[in-house]
Structure 1
């Protein structure tokens, strides 16, 4: 190796062969991206078609369910009206049965003949003022000479 080959040049030589090779590499890279994009677009279009088909199917199901709901609502309203009419017819029979089977018990009186069951007398509760005695105000003073003699 010579000494001149070890010294790097500040500007590389622009050769047409190198430019053509770079352009071919870039062209190959762009074609690869193009084919990848085509594949991706095809997959996306297929997914979009599937989603649209599923959406149409779901809309059809919703329409069927809405019709079924309307039908069931009408049936329910008719059943409620019928139950109301039957309750009105049945009410007199239920009242008559309740009156016939009523349980009546006379008012009870507590037997207090035994000693343990004697009624208690009222408890004499005196007001707190009477139990403790008169309250003397000290007006904030703690001096024992201020308190009146008992």
Structure 2
């Protein structure tokens, strides 16, 4: 059986051993540079991830502190409202005017009850209907010619 694989020739040219070694070394150098760049990029990604995680932890800590402060402020506000209600009640009791109930003496003539005051609509009081214009007193009535 014959081997049908074309073996590289040992003569100078494109597939000579020194040229092949040089091409492999060049490719190896390119791959190492690519690997180094990928490692640098991966380290930057890890550093960014660590920074984001630290910022997230800081935000969660600040959130917890804010919730604690809010609870304390709500309790303080509730206590201040209760104290305010107590102080308003004390002030109302101190400033209260206490007068015993009394009855008005109506024996004098000027204290006698009067008749109720008649209240009418404006046009009834002026003698005008709702469809007539209310004129000032210096105008003449066009129907009668008299001064109103």
Q: State TM-score, norm by structure 2.
A: 0.46
Q: State TM-score, norm by structure 1.
A: 0.45
